[in-house]
């Protein structure tokens, strides 16, 4: 391979995961596939066509920039929704291109009116309400004014959605807070509907809430981490399987990350390996240099900790993870050669390195590790 490592996406895994989620939620729930942050590091341009093949027709991103990127990739019939940041130019572009977006305060709402009304297009808006997360979301005191502005501009605003975001449905510790948010949301939806503002969609749930709280599904869910084959937390997974007879993980991980052995070397007992003194060879060692480092997304905190697969065996990372290289202890692999495949995440033979095990070692969440995989690493689709 020309690049130092490659990221493979499994088409079958995506199909499996989407099918599983559709079965869980039922036909009346629209799945919006969340592909912000380069599709959680999977690569938006590679992931989106696979998701479309698996039947997805609605995608969520964070920013106007991501929406522009996605517009070049997606099928004509797929819809985009921006959940977060957009500047003034983005706003005009979003409306002109039929992209849906969140309105989370009066300033944003006023901006839409002042910047875009002259275009003569319809703004497809999701009104995000504050229900207890205390991040973005329209404050209750502003709702009357917001409802007034939307009602008074019927040709201009189309109320696609009423929505909110839950403050941590992946942990049972937040149960009471989540329940409060859900009942507030229900009350606010009724308030809007009594004023004749009936949205096409009501949505509050990301992965954790959608899988754990059926009442949070309404008719749309914003599906991130689960579609990539990861559970939002081990609590969420345990909660899910504890009610099932079959305790298998129904999800398949989509990503594999592979490199190859760049160089091999023998090191004598008593020598230090790589920078400094963090690894001392206590016996004669054979080491493999792998051209992946922290600049490629392999966290530095995996120094002396990480595990990789070579020749079907699990071997340890020794010494510091450098900017572009790491070193694995291949003393117990007699046949290892330069060019042999190295699996950083994924399977080789019967063994697997999961992002979860990786993240436990480095105290990174799945989310963080995945989204830090650089855009420049090539992505490939495999079965």
Q: Which of 222, 258, 285, 379 binds ligand PLP (CB under 6 A)?
A: 222
Find residue 264's DSSP bridge partners: 288
Closest residue to ligand PLP, Cβ-based?
224
Candidates 151-159, 185-193, 222-230, 259-267 — which segment interacts with ligand PLP by CB under 6 A? Answer: 222-230
**Do residues 377 and 3 lie in contact, with contact meaning Cβ atoms separated by under 8 Å?**
yes
Smallest distance from the beta carbon of 234 to ligand PLP, in angstroms? Answer: 14
Cα distance between residue 342 and residue 293, in whole Å: 13
Contact region with ligand PLP (CB under 6 A), list: 64-72, 85-93, 218-226, 248-256: 218-226
Nearer to ligand PLP, 34 or 255 (CB): 34
- Nearer to ligand PLP by Cβ, of 34 and 327: the residue is 34
- Binding ligand PLP (rule: CB under 6 A), the pick from 224, 229, 291, 297 is 224
Is residue 30 within 8 A of residue 58, CB to CB? The reply is yes
229 binds ligand PLP (CB under 6 A): no
Does residue 83 bind ligand PLP (CB under 6 A)? yes
Of 36 and 253, the one with the shorter C-beta distance to ligand PLP is: 36
Smallest distance from the beta carbon of 228 to ligand PLP, in angstroms?
8
Radius of gyration for the chain, computed over Cα atoms and rounded to the nearest angstrom: 24
Pairing of strands 201-203, 255-260: unpaired
**Residue 42 in the binding site for ligand PLP (CB under 6 A):** no
CB of 312 to ligand PLP, least distance (A): 32
257-276 b/e (C-beta count within 10 Å ≥ 16 → b): bbbbbbeeeebeeeeebbee
Q: Is residue 126 part of the contact set for ligand PLP (CB under 6 A)?
A: no
The closest of 96, 83, 198 to 151, measured between CA atoms, is 198
Nearer to ligand PLP, 36 or 258 (CB): 36
133 vs 262, which CB is nearer to ligand PLP? 133
- Would you say 59 or 358 has its CB closer to ligand PLP? 59
Question: Does position 7 bind ligand PLP by CB under 6 A?
Answer: no
Rule CB under 6 A: say whether 225 interacts with ligand PLP: yes
Nearest approach, Cβ of residue 375 and ligand PLP (Å) = 18
> For residues 51 and 228, is the Cβ–Cβ distance under 8 A?
no
Burial 219-254 (b: 16+ CB within 10 A, else e): ebbbbbbbbbbbbbbeebbebbeeeeeeeeebbebb
β-pairing, 341-348 vs 255-260, is antiparallel
In 3D space, the residue among 1, 33, 37, 41 whose CA is nearest the CA of residue 14 turns out to be 33
Determine if 165 is a binding residue for ligand PLP (CB under 6 A).
Answer: yes
Place of tokens 């939620």: 25
Which lies closer to ligand PLP via its Cβ, residue 143 or residue 163?
163
Residue in 199, 229, 232, 346 binding ligand PLP, rule: CB under 6 A: 232
Question: What is the C-alpha separation between 45 and 67, in angstroms, rounded?
Answer: 12
Q: How far is the CB of 83 from ligand PLP (least distance, A)?
A: 5
Contact between 236 and ligand PLP (CB under 6 A)?
no
- H-only helix segments in the chain: 11-25, 36-40, 44-53, 64-73, 88-96, 106-116, 143-151, 175-194, 207-212, 234-242, 355-362, 366-371
Tell me the closest approach of the beta carbon of residue 168 to ligand PLP, in angstroms.
10
Residue 220 or 330: the one with the smaller Cβ distance to ligand PLP is: 220
Among 34, 188, 189, 255, binds ligand PLP (CB under 6 A): 34
Among 18, 223, 302, 355, contact with ligand PLP (rule: CB under 6 A): 223
Contacts of residue 371, Cβ cutoff 8 Å, sequence gap at least 6: 37, 38, 40, 41
Tokens of 364: 């990174």
Element (H, E) at 313: strand 313-318
CB of 224 to ligand PLP, least distance (A): 2
Helical pair 44-53 and 11-25, crossing angle rounded to 10 deg: 60
Angle separating helix axes 88-96 and 106-116, nearest 10 degrees: 60
What residues line the site for ligand PLP (CB under 6 A)? 34, 36, 83, 165, 206-208, 222-225, 232
């Amino acid at each position: 391979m020309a690049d130092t490592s490659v990221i493979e996406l499994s088409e079958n895994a995506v199909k499996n995961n989407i099918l599983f989620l559709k079965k869980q939620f039922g036909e009346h729930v629209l799945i919006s596939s969340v592909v912000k942050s380069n599709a959680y590091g999977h690569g938006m341009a590679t992931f989106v066509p696979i998701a479309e093949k698996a039947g997805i027709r609605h995608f969520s991103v964070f920013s106007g920039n991501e929406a522009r990127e996605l517009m070049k990739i997606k099928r004509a019939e797929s819809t985009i929704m921006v959940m977060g940041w957009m500047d003034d130019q983005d706003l005009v572009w979003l409306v002109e291109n039929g992209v849906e977006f969140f309105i989370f305060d009066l300033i944003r709402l006023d901006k839409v009116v002042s910047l875009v009304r002259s275009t003569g297009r319809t703004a497809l808006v999701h009104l995000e309400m504050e229900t207890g997360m205390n991040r973005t979301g329209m404050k209750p005191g502003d709702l009357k004014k917001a409802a007034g502005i939307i009602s008074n501009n019927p040709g201009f605003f189309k109320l696609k959605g009423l929505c909110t975001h839950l403050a941590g449905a992946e942990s049972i510790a937040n149960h009471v807070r989540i329940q409060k948010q859900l009942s507030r949301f229900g009350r606010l939806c009724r308030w809007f509907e009594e004023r004749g503002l009936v949205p096409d969609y009501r949505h509050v749930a990301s992965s954790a809430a959608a899988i754990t709280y059926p009442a949070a599904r309404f008719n749309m869910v914003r599906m991130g981490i689960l579609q990539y084959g990861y559970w939002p937390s081990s609590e969420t997974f345990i909660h899910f399987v504890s009610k099932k007879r079959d305790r298998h993980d129904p999800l398949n991980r989509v990503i594999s990350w592979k490199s190859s052995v760049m160089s091999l070397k023998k090191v004598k007992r008593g020598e230090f390996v790589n920078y400094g003194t963090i690894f001392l060879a206590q016996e004669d060692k054979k080491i493999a240099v792998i051209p992946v480092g922290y600049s490629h997304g392999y966290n530095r905190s995996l120094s002396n900790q990480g595990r990789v697969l070579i020749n079907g065996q699990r071997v340890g990372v020794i010494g510091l993870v450098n900017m572009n290289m790491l070193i694995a202890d291949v003393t117990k692999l007699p046949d290892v050669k330069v060019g042999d495949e190295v699996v950083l995440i994924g399977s080789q033979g019967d063994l697997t390195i999961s992002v979860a095990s990786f993240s436990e070692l480095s105290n990174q969440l799945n989310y963080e590790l995945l989204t830090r995989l650089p855009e420049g690493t090539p992505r490939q689709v495999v079965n």
